[in-house]
Amino acid sequence: MRSSRLGKTLATLTAATAMALGGTLMTATGAAAVDGSACKVNIKNRSMAASSFGAQTWSGPGSTYTKKAYLQSFEGFYARCYTTNSHGNRWYYGDPNGRSYRAWVYAGNVFTP
């Protein structure tokens, strides 16, 4: 009977821990790649360029995501759409010039020539 009570206590503790962690994990920012479905506004290939300091591209709209290639100063970027992340920062999603993938770039690191 003692082991039965211990088993129930462990099961309850495990369930409570899982619920607490699950709630935390569901609200945490994921580091997985995010495609254009995260966009809120379509802009259809706006030609942009990296600032004079260059621009890091990312797998999602925020610096918690995985880094991709670095755009050199004034290198082209064709923005397809954009979103505003939870910090109020605008991020563009599109095609880095001459690259075979799409990526996100922070609006403060690109400009429209």
Q: pLDDT of 24-57, one tens digit each?
A: 333 334 456 788 889 999 998 899 999 999 999 9
Determine the pLDDT at residue 8.
Answer: 47
Q: What is the dihedral of CA 111, 83, 102, 56, to 10 degrees?
A: 50
Quote the pTM value.
0.70
83: burial class by Cβ within 10 Å (0-12, 13-18, 19+)? buried
- The domain that contains 85 carries what CATH number? 2.30.30
**Inside any domain, residue 4:** no
Overall number of domains in the chain: 1
Taking only the tens place, the pLDDT of each residue in 67-92 is 999 999 999 999 999 999 999 999 99
**Inside any domain, residue 25:** no
**Inside any domain, residue 45:** yes
Determine the pLDDT at residue 5.
Answer: 53
| Domain span including residue 92 | 36-111
**Inside any domain, residue 20:** no
